[in-house]
Amino acid sequence: MPGFARAYVRWVDGFNMGLGRVIMYGLFVMMAILLWSSVSKTFFRPSLWTLELAQFAMVTYFVLGGPYSLKAGAHVRMDLFYAEWSLRKKAWMDSITVFLLIFYLGVLLYGSLTSTAFSLGYFGDHPFEFYRDLIVAFVTGGPDGASEVMGHLERSRTAFRAYMWPIKVIMTFGFFLMLLQAISELIKDIARLRGETI
């Protein structure tokens, strides 16, 4: 395999492994939020923010932990036939199915970019032009310039009324990392088919 492919796999695998090991402690964040929710409902006035913040923590845990799971091979697969196959046949099947995963992640990434633009107040049909204008406005005018490009920020429809853009940015970042990891897995499968290891 070319040197840039090996460097790509090392960098993406290392980053996602490190991030996954940090994100796994998000479980304790969710537990603390839900524990406070139970305590506040029992002894104090119920908190409006706990359920929605726990949902946001769960999405963060799930989406940012996905690339780590893909790297570790921890996703669910049908082992009825797969477990008995040779390493070469598994590499063939994985290299074919990873293309479907890459397509699916591309669709998710596009949808999350569009949804994030909507949460930042853009209601048009060209979200990438909005991001370009937002970046140019931020570079030339700072936060004030960027706020002129953004519209009315989307908020949730709950009593807490949380802003939606932070969780949508996290989801977009997670889908992007998952796409990078899927490409890394494809490179590793091609290397296995060529009899090499990365």
Query: Which residue ranges make up each domain of the chain?
Result: 3-193
Give the pLDDT score at 91: 84
Q: Residue 40: what pLDDT?
A: 84
pLDDT score of 5: 87
pLDDT attached to residue 74: 75
pLDDT on residue 102? 94
pLDDT the model gives residue 83: 76
pLDDT score of 178? 96
Low pLDDT (below 50) residues in the chain: none
Q: Which residues contact 66 (CB under 8 A, 6 or more apart)?
A: 174, 177, 178
